[in-house]
Structures are given as structure tokens and as C-alpha cells.
Amino acid sequence: MSVITQPTDTLRRQDPLMADVLAGEALRQAESLQLIAAENFTSRAVLATLGSALANKYAEGYPGARHHGGCEYADQAERVAVERARALFGAEHANVQPHSGSAAVLAAYAALLRPGATVLAMGLPYGGHLTHGSPANLSGRWFDFVGYGVDARTGLIDYLQVQELARRHRPEAIVCGSISYPRHPEYSAFREIADEVGALLIADASHPIGLVAGGAAPSPVPYADVVCATTHKVLRGPRGGMILCGAEFAERIDRAVFPLTQGGAQMHTIAAKAVAFGEAATPAFTTYAHRVVANARTLAEALRVRGLAVTTGGTDTHLITADPAPLGVDGPTARGRLAAAGLVLDTCALPYGDQRGLRLGTAAVTTQGMGETEMARIATLLTAALTGGDPARVRAEIAELALGFPPYGE
């Protein structure tokens, strides 16, 4: 395990309890396989920036217009992050201050909509996010959400249904994006539907934005009025969010982020975003993004061959959703068995039923250097863990595989 993931000697002396917590987490990551679709390993440079002196800086406002003094380097860091994001995604404007993807989506709503507005988005049972109208979320309490779904047979978005719902409800905004849809949205189709009913188009691209950066997925930027995204996941940056838009909405977006929905910017995170955007602009990241997709397709097919019901028949992205029921186990039980074996992943809603399936992704294991051979081995170990394989043996094999590909070197 790399020393970069270990607590410092200072922390060990000052707070041994938290030092043990951090050491335990580093060991957990080293000895298990991180298959959560929303997780990844940042670079050493991103980690170093997160722990930099900018963590001490208060910087409410925007470059050149801060509410605190001493922001000259904070301004430089944010300007670099903004310009790199604009160049990377071909956007006229970028706001890099959102603390998370959810914060980015809610800020977009605040910028574009009034409370009570009708919004058309993917329904939660089909892969919609909490910010797409959950009654437990501010989005579902402030706006009138209408949910679209997927075709019961193919699992693919039914664009005729989207069009029909848009014509019937005349939403002020349409949201395209999901947390568990493994295919590329047809952004042009959403744009046509939005234009027909006079709606704004908001793309929640939190999952595919890293693939977009690496040229392994189509970009929503030319089609959507506003694009919201995270900076972790496949993009491999720090945990946080961002918003991309045209010049027409730039001022409204900026005001919605600060001061309407957030306070001081997290400057160490913004600087780390700048580092990640720089890394994502390299040929090496392009290669990585395409390998992520190749690994996901190999893993999806291997799981299908071994008996899991893979939704939509496969994937175009980094994530896979599958029903383990053909192996005689439900989603939550499967997740527990896999966690005990060292395979860390999530459950998700499956279309047209109350059952939950498995959601897994290949971003982190691809960062570790694993390829299609390892994907086949992961599928074998996963099915063994679900179908009564010797738990100790399966756990040992998974640890051996994980330790053979340390994310930060030996």
C-alpha cells in the first residue's frame, strides 16, 4: 500500500483514533475491489492539492469580486479551473463552485425555474436521481415533477413517451440524465422535444461526463441549455460538482450558485478540479476513458453469460445494471454477500418491478490498471460469491487480485 494513502506521523501522534480510521480505510480500498459506479481513485496530484494551503482560504464570491481579502491565489486557481473546464467540454461558461452534483442540479433549477414549475425527468423507479423529483429532496418539494420511463421490453428510454408526456404537461424544463441508465441518451431527441413544447433542456451528466471528456461518450453541451455534472466518478477528480452553460445563462447560474444556494467556495477542491481537468485533457486520459467502456462491456457480457440478467442487454458506458434473481438471490442480499467477499458495489431500482438489482462500474478498477482479462475474473468471482462458493477462498482471491493492482503503486 502506498504511503500516500497512509496517515502522517503528525496525525498519528495528535489523533491516533482518526489515524487508525484513515489507515483502515486505506487498507479496505487496497484489499477489496471498488465497483461502485460513482467512485474512482484520484491522482496523487489531485490528492496533494486537496491537502494544500488553499484548504485554509475563505473566498466567498468569484474571482475579482470576493468578500474576503487575500484571494489573489484563490482567484488564479478558480480562473484556471474555469478555463480548463470550458476548453475541455467546449462550453461558453463554467461554474466550478458547486460542492456536489446535487448542489449543481439544484442551483440550475434555482437559476431557471420558479417554485411550482413543471419539470419532466426520468422517474426514480427507472433510474432518476433524488434531485429529479424525489419527495424526500428539495426538488420534489419545490417543483411539480413528471416522470418518464423506459421500454418494458428493451429497458431503453421511450422517446415517444417522453414526447407524449411533454405535449400533455408542457413542462418548463426537461431533465435528461440518470444514475443507472447504461446507454447514451439521445440528446438531439431531447432537444427536439424541448423545443417543440418551449421547455429548457437540463442535462444531468454526472455519470458520463468523464467519458465525454475522454471522447468515449457523446457530449450534451451542444444540445442542453445547462449541463450539470460531478467532478469525481470517471472524470477522476475531487468530490464536487460543476455547471456548464451558454453565455445566455451564465449570470443566472453564477448567482444561483453564490449567493443563492451556497456560501464560501471550497478553494482546495476547486484547485483540485483544475488539476483533474488538466489531466483529462491528455491523450492518456482519452485512452483511459475508452478502456473504461471496453472493460464495462466485457464485464457485462461475462455476467450475462454466467446467468445474471443484464438490463438493456449490455452497456455503452462505465456502468452496468443487472438482476441477480436468475441466480436465486435478490439485490440487497446479493450486495451483502458481495461486500463480505470484498466486491463493493450498489443496488439500484430495476424497471417495472419492486425488486432491486445490482449497479456496478469499471472506472476505479480501470484506474488501477485492470483490463478485460481481469473483468472476466471479476465476473467469475462475483458469481461464485452469489452461488455458494467457498467464502474464504473467494475473499482471498479478490484480495489477491486487488493487491496486484494498487492504485498508488506499491
Question: Domains in the chain, start-ordered, CATH in brackets?
Answer: 50-280 (3.40.640.10), 283-403 (3.90.1150.10)
Predicted confidence at residue 1, as pLDDT, reads: 43
Contact indicator for 213, 241 with CB cutoff of 8 Å? no
How much is the CA Rg of the chain, to the nearest whole Å? 21
Q: CB neighbours (10 Å) of residue 115?
A: 10
Asked if pLDDT for residue 3 goes beyond 80, the answer is no
Q: What are 243's strand-pairing partners? A: 95, 228
- H or E, element range at 329: none
Kindly state the cell numbers that stand for 380. 467469475
Axis-axis angle for helices 372-386, 283-305 (nearest 10):
40
Kindly state the average pLDDT of the residues 294-313.
97
Asked if pLDDT for residue 410 goes beyond 90, the answer is no
Among 84, 183, 233, 359, the one annotated catalytic: 233
Asked if pLDDT for residue 265 goes beyond 80, the answer is yes
Among 12, 31, 44, 58, the one annotated catalytic: 58
Predicted confidence at residue 307, as pLDDT, reads: 97
Which SS3 state, helix, strand or coil, does residue 320 take?
strand
Model confidence at 6, in pLDDT bands (50, 70, 90)?
low
Asked if pLDDT for residue 224 goes beyond 80, the answer is yes
Predicted confidence at residue 353, as pLDDT, reads: 73
Q: What are 33's strand-pairing partners? A: 343
* C-alpha distance across the termini of the chain, in Å: 5
The tens digit of pLDDT for each residue in 144-162 reads 999 999 998 899 999 999 9
233 is annotated as an active-site residue? yes
Model confidence at 296, in pLDDT bands (50, 70, 90)?
very high
Q: How far is CA 358 from CA 122, 148, 288, 298, in A?
A: 19, 22, 24, 16
For the ranges 324-333, 350-359, 394-403, the lowest mean pLDDT is seen at: 350-359
Query: Cα(343)–Cα(201) distance, rounded to whole angstroms?
Result: 37
Among 204, 301, 316, 323, the one annotated catalytic: 204
| Residue among 183, 181, 200 nearest 191 (CA) | 200
Q: Provide the residue count of the chain.
A: 410
Among 5, 42, 230, 321, the one annotated catalytic: 230
**Phi, psi for 257 (deg, rounded to 5):** -75, -55
Query: Is 0.85 topped by the overall pTM?
Result: yes
Asked if pLDDT for residue 25 goes beyond 90, the answer is yes
Q: How far is CA 315 from CA 165, 201, 232, 359, in A?
A: 26, 24, 20, 12
Contact indicator for 356, 349 with CB cutoff of 8 Å? yes
Among 12, 31, 60, 252, the one annotated catalytic: 60
Asked if pLDDT for residue 336 goes beyond 50, the answer is yes
Asked if pLDDT for residue 388 goes beyond 50, the answer is yes
Asked if pLDDT for residue 4 goes beyond 80, the answer is no
What mean pLDDT is reported for the chain? 95
Predicted confidence at residue 107, as pLDDT, reads: 98
Predicted confidence at residue 288, as pLDDT, reads: 98
Q: CB neighbours (10 Å) of residue 154?
A: 13
Supply the DSSP symbol for 181: -
Query: Cα(273)–Cα(237) distance, rounded to whole angstroms?
Result: 6
Single-letter code of the amino acid located at 362: T
For the ranges 67-71, 206-210, 388-392, 402-406, the lowest mean pLDDT is seen at: 388-392
204 is annotated as an active-site residue? yes
